Amino acid sequence: MTLETRREPAKTRQPVMELIARRWSPKAFGPEVPSGNELASMFEAGRWAPSCFNNQPWRYLVTTRNDPGAFSRALACLTEKNASWVRNAPLLAFQVMRETFEYNGKPNPWSGFDCGLAMAQLIIQAEFMGWSVHVMAGFSRDRVRETFGVPEGFKPLVAFVIGREGDPHSLPPHFMEEETAPRERKELEETVFSDSWGKSLF
């Protein structure tokens, strides 16, 4: 499969927005770094995500290849497997979650959900602008805390890469196989139930 033909939209059973059908998480990235204005637009989209009590628990730590020292420190927070492909990406960042409500200091059990909403909006905005985002769980939270001075009450939640989609042939063979594999999702009947668990709505 060539670079020109590999990124076909998802074959959805029902009509969805083109941006959603087109979105996916590549591992092969080109070297171009998003401009400051482009990044501001992506994070602005995330800024307007809904959140419980408008708490907006999301924070971000962002490094790019324009600052090799910071990028290298961020890269050292990843698992070895993730670092092996992320080292070729132009931008590596972490989303950090505030664990308590600002208005009363009590634990916020919905912080993770709210951060996910913000990340989803950032991803769709990036896709609209021609950029791709890959989110990862494989990193050391403790290392992020130590490296970037994350204070108590905040929890590193996910790592993510932003860049232009690159050539999958630049990846090691095992990653290239994943990169070009057919896209799959569970059927709606497996995940959307009606008036009893396991009874499909559709």
User: What structural domains and CATH numbers belong to the chain?
Assistant: 13-190 (3.40.109.10)
Mean pLDDT, to the nearest integer, of 40-69? Answer: 98
Q: Among residues of the chain, what percentage have pLDDT more than 70?
A: 97
How much is the pTM? 0.94
pLDDT of residue 180: 85
What confidence tens digit (pLDDT) does each residue in 159-198 have?
999 999 999 988 988 898 888 888 899 999 999 999 999 9
pLDDT of residue 181: 86
- H, E, C per residue of the chain: CCHHHHCCCCCCCCCCCHHHHHCCCCCCECCCCCCHHHHHHHHHHHHCCCCHHHCCCEEEEEEECCCHHHHHHHHCCECHHHHHHHCCCCEEEEEEEECECCCCCCECCCHHHHHHHHHHHHHHHHHHCCCEEEEECCECHHHHHHHHCCCCCEEEEEEEEEECECCHHHCCHHHHHHHCCCCCCCCHHHCCECCCCCCECC
Mean pLDDT, to the nearest integer, of 144-152? Answer: 98
What confidence tens digit (pLDDT) does each residue in 101-139 have?
999 999 999 999 999 999 999 999 999 999 999 999 999
